[in-house]
Amino acid sequence: MNRDKVIIRTSIIGICGNIVLVGIKAFIGFLVGSIAIILDAVNNLSDALSSIITIIGTKLSSKKPDKKHPFGYGRIEYITSMVISIIVMFAGVSALRESITTLIDLYQNGTMPSYNNVALIIISIGVVVKVGLGLYFMKMGKKVQSENLKASGKDALMDSILSLSTLVGAIICMFTKVSIEGYLGIVISLFILKAGMEILRDALSEIIGKRSDPELTKEIKAMVNRYDIVKGSYDLILNSYGPEKIIGSIHVEVKDDTTAKEIHQLTRQIQIDCKMKYNIIMTVGVYASNESNPEIFKIKTDLNKILHNYKEVLQMHGFYVEEQNHIITFDLIFDLSVKEPEKLKQEIVRQISELYPSYHFDAILDADFTD
What is the pLDDT at residue 266?
97
Q: What residue ranges do the domains of the chain occupy?
A: 3-208, 213-289, 290-371
| Separation between Cα atoms, residue 110 and residue 113, nearest integer Å | 10
β-pairing, 327-334 vs 360-366, is: parallel
* Span 55-71, average pLDDT: 87
β-pairing, 246-255 vs 280-289, is: parallel
Rounded to 10°, the helix 294-307/341-355 angle is 140
**How does pLDDT run across 341-359, given as a tens digit for each residue?**
999 999 999 999 999 999 9
Q: Would you say residue 129 has pLDDT above 80?
A: yes
What is the pLDDT at residue 111?
66
Q: Which architecture characterizes domain 290-371 according to CATH? A: 2-Layer Sandwich (3.30)
Q: What confidence category does residue 218 fall into, taking pLDDT thresholds of 50, 70 and 90?
A: very high
Q: Which architecture characterizes domain 213-289 according to CATH? A: 2-Layer Sandwich (3.30)
* Span 46-57, average pLDDT: 84
Q: What confidence category does residue 37 fall into, taking pLDDT thresholds of 50, 70 and 90?
A: confident
**How does pLDDT run across 178-207, given as a tens digit for each residue?**
777 778 778 878 877 888 898 899 889 888
Equal fold, 3-208 vs 213-289: no
CATH of the domain spanning 3-208, picked from 1.20.1510.10, 1.20.1420.20, 1.10.760.10, 2.60.40.10: 1.20.1510.10
**How does pLDDT run across 248-292, given as a tens digit for each residue?**
999 999 999 999 999 999 999 999 999 999 999 999 999 999 988
**How does pLDDT run across 147-167, given as a tens digit for each residue?**
778 878 887 887 787 777 778
